[in-house]
Amino acid sequence: MPPLAPAKPCPICGKPAEEQFKPFCSSRCRDVDLNRWFSGVYSVPVAEDEDEDGDAAIKSETKSEDHE
């Protein structure tokens, strides 16, 4: 049987992770991480969609409003 992967440290404070709170070491660190997501510290980058013409979707919406 291969050896288990070494335990990763808590991503917030670096202490060893506890099974109950994985990947964190405590409920405090888990809550700190959740607060960072809620407050916008962490974000997922988003690419702007393009329409069929290759123009940005926002630009095409503006163009269609100009023609109405």
What is the residue extent of each domain of the chain? 12-42
C-alpha distances (whole Å) from 43 to each of 2, 33, 38, 40 are 36, 12, 10, 6
Cα distance between residue 9 and residue 44, in whole Å: 23
pLDDT computed for residue 3 by the predictor:
59
Cα distance between residue 36 and residue 33, in whole Å: 5
- List the pLDDT tens digit at each of the 68 positions of the chain: 555 667 789 999 999 999 999 999 999 999 999 999 999 998 888 887 766 666 665 554 555 555 55
pLDDT computed for residue 67 by the predictor:
56
